[in-house]
Each structure stands twice: as structure tokens, then as C-alpha cells.
């Protein structure tokens, strides 16, 4: 086998923002059943590490184009982390001040990443759940005349997935089978935008949507109330806290409502949080793919589907982000900071550089 070689992308980029999108589809070789082919679309290849870079960029650029966002105006948004990190990257590159609201229950490294990129982070009490940070962002926008990014309501969210994510999938599977596309939801932009295209151009592809088993708000059948601007006015009564950060806020966003109303998914499969953690760990240790709990949860659903899928089926699974923003979460419980007994034994097997030597 010859050494691997690279030759560059054949282009130079004018801005970090020009590198958003065109994330790779990667085959799972060790953990997928042999009778199916499972690929993951690894959104951690976006420059700020998640699928939310796409909507963050389009929300700002669409608002610039139509005049909703003035030069130098402060941007504000509620976030569980990934959208905030994406917006912080975009606002840093374009020169907009950014204020983000986030429930204190989300991982500490997320707020540090947003602050590192220059954003201000306003924390809200965890007992108020996602609705608390959502209400705080709306209040700050109204009081200060700031631009509210409105990721949960704006058409700019699903539109970018229709224009980019979906087109990338079509290109990567052109002339090939694609029997299942599997995704979770946060705002609902990914499923609504991609499904618009798949329903039209790949109608044979079954779209599988997932949500946490203990926060199955879509599966409950109850739709939370909204005002005339499509903004949520209540916390969903069927929501419970869950470990799949970035998935399923405690309300059904307007962007997701499109997928529900239009029948953009063929099955809704709940997944347990611990299963998401287990499959994220397996992806890392058996495939070398480092994704978060949400990615692990989506793969868990795909592996459940694979058990009864016909031979030769091809699946594509969305991996929303990188695992690095989960370091302080249950995903990393049991990962030692000091040497384990096995590691100590390895160290002791040769005489040099022993820990504890004077």
C-alpha cells in the first residue's frame, strides 16, 4: 500500500465563512451490520464544528440582504450551544456584537467557546428550561432594539438546508441507492429543509425522525401555543430534561411544524439518552468518529432500523456536531484524568520516566 497523498482543494478562501457546508458522507465499517451500508454525514467538518453553522450563516446573510440587520447592530439569540457557537463565528467574521442566552444546564465548554469567539453569554435558570432562555432573548431584543436571530421561526433556517445539505446528499448518492435518511431535530431546520428536496427528487428514500424517549413531544400529538409571529408562548407539557443536548427543546418550533404538517417523515422513533451515549462512545472507539450524544442517538436509531432492514439497504445518518463540546457531560463519565491501573502497569513495564520519581 502506497503512502496517502493530498493535493489541496484547488482554491483559496476569502473568509472562514466560505468553508461552511460540503461536509463528508463516511461509511461505518465496523459497527454497522454486514447486510446494510450505513453512512454518516459528519457535520463536525463545518468550521465551528456543527450543522448549526449553516443556519447561523444564512440567518445573518439573509437579514443583511433584505435590510433586517443594520451594520453594527447587536445580534441576540437563545441557544443550547451549537447555534450560539455558529453565530459567534459568523458575527466575529462580520463584525457584529452578539449576545446569547443559554440555560445554565448546558455544558460549560459551550459557554466558554461562545465567549472565546467574542460573544456575551447570559445564563438563565435551569428550572425554566429552554423556554426561559428563549423568552429572555425575545425580551432583550425588544428592550434594546437588537436583531433577534429567530432560529426557531425564521424561514432562513430550513431554506439553507434545502439549498445546501439536501443538495450535497443528492450529489453524494447520485445514481446510487439511498433507502433511509435518519435525523433528530432541534429547531427542525434540517429535517424540514432536506425533506423538501428528498420528497421531490428521491421519493423512495424513507425519512426517519427521532426524539428523546422521555421528551417525545412530537409523538405526544400536542402542539404548543404560538403567537402571531409564530413564537412559542408556553413550555410543552410533555417535555422532560434529557441528556441529548441540542435536540428537542421544551417546545415544538415553527420551523419543525412544517415537517409535521407536510408529513415529511415516514417514521418517528424515540431513543433513550443512555443509548445515545453508548453509540457515541462506540463511534469513537470503533470507527474513530468523534461526535456528541445527538450523533450517537441518531446512530442508535439507525442500528435499530438496520435489524429489520432488507439486505443491501443504504442508510445515511446525520451527525450534528463534534464530541468536544460534551467534555463536562455524562458522555465523558468514567474517562479518567489520571492513569488507570492498566496504564500504570504499562508504564511500570519499562524503567524510565516513571510518575512519582524524584
> Active-site positions?
52, 294
**What is the C-alpha end-to-end distance of the chain, expressed in Å?**
46
Query: How buried is residue 205: exposed, middle or buried, by Cβ count under 10 Å (0-12/13-18/19+)?
Result: buried
Residue with grid cell 449553516, as numbered in its chain: 54
Helix (H) or strand (E) holding 84: helix 82-94
Cα–Cα distance between 222 and 145 in angstroms, integer?
Answer: 33
Determine whether 216 is exposed, middle or buried from the number of CB atoms within 10 Å of its CB (0-12, 13-18, 19+).
Answer: buried
Alpha carbons 84 and 210: distance in angstroms, whole number: 23
Three-state SS string over 254-289 comes to HHHHHHHHCCCCCEEEEECHHHHHHHHHHHHHHHCC
Q: Which of 32, 21, 20 is nearest to 316 (CA)?
A: 32
The residues facing 148 across adjacent strands are: 76
Q: Which of 22, 109, 81 is nearest to 249 (CA)?
A: 81
- Give the span between the Cα atoms of 229 and 153, in whole angstroms: 8
b vs e for 245-276, b when ≥16 Cβ sit within 10 Å of the residue's Cβ?
A: bbbbbbbbbbbbbbbbeeebbeeebebbbebb
Closest CA to 184 of 164, 201, 153, 207: 207
Distance CA 350, CA 358 (A): 17
For 21, phi then psi, to 5°, come to 95, -175
CA distances in angstroms from 299 to 71, 173, 183, 202, 296, listed in the order given: 42, 19, 9, 22, 5
Amino acid at each position: 500500500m502506497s503512502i496517502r497523498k493530498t493535493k489541496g482543494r484547488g482554491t483559496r478562501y476569502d473568509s472562514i465563512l466560505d468553508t461552511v457546508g460540503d461536509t463528508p458522507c463516511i461509511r461505518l465499517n465496523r459497527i454497522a451490520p454486514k447486510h446494510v451500508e450505513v453512512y454518516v454525514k459528519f457535520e463536525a467538518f463545518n468550521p465551528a464544528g456543527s450543522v448549526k453553522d449553516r443556519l447561523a450563516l444564512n440567518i445573518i446573510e439573509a437579514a443583511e440582504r433584505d435590510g433586517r440587520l443594520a451594520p453594527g447592530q447587536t445580534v441576540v439569540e437563545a441557544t443550547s450551544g451549537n447555534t450560539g457557537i455558529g453565530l459567534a463565528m459568523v458575527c466575529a467574521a462580520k463584525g457584529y456584537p452578539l449576545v446569547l442566552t443559554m440555560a445554565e444546564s448546558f455544558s460549560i465548554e459551550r459557554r466558554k467557546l461562545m465567549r472565546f469567539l467574542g460573544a456575551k453569554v447570559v445564563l438563565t435558570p435551569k428550572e425554566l428550561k429552554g423556554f426561559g432562555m428563549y423568552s429572555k432573548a425575545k425580551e432583550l431584543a425588544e428592550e434594546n432594539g437588537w436583531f433577534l436571530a429567530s432560529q426557531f421561526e425564521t424561514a432562513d433556517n430550513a431554506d439553507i438546508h434545502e439549498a445546501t445539505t439536501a443538495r450535497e446528499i443528492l450529489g453524494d448518492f447520485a445514481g446510487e441507492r439511498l433507502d433511509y435518511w435518519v435525523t433528530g431535530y432541534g429547531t427542525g431546520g434540517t429535517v424540514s429543509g432536506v425533506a423538501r428536496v428528498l420528497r421531490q427528487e428521491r421519493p423512495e428514500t424513507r425519512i426517519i425522525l427521532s426524539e428523546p424517549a422521555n421528551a417525545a413531544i412530537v409523538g405526544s400529538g400536542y402542539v404548543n401555543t404560538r403567537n402571531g409571529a409564530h413564537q412559542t408562548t408556553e413550555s410543552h407539557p410533555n417535555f422532560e430534561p434529557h441528556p441529548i443536548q441540542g435536540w428537542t427543546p421544551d417546545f415544538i418550533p415553527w420551523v419543525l411544524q412544517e415537517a409535521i404538517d407536510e408529513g415529511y417523515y415516514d417514521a418517528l422513533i424515540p431513543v433513550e439518552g443512555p443509548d445515545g451515549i453508548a453509540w457515541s462512545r462506540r463511534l469513537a472507539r470503533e470507527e474513530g468518529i468523534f461526535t456528541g450524544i445527538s450523533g450517537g442517538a441518531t446512530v442508535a436509531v439507525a442500528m435499530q432500523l438496520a435489524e429489520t432492514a432488507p439486505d443491501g439497504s443504504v442508510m445515511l445518518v446525520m451527525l450534528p456536531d463534534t464530541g468536544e463540546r460534551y467534555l463536562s457531560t455524562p458522555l465523558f463519565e468514567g474517562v479518567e484524568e489520571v492513569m488507570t491501573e492498566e496504564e500504570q502497569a504499562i508504564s511500570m513495564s519499562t524503567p524510565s520516566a516513571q510518575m512519582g520519581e524524584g
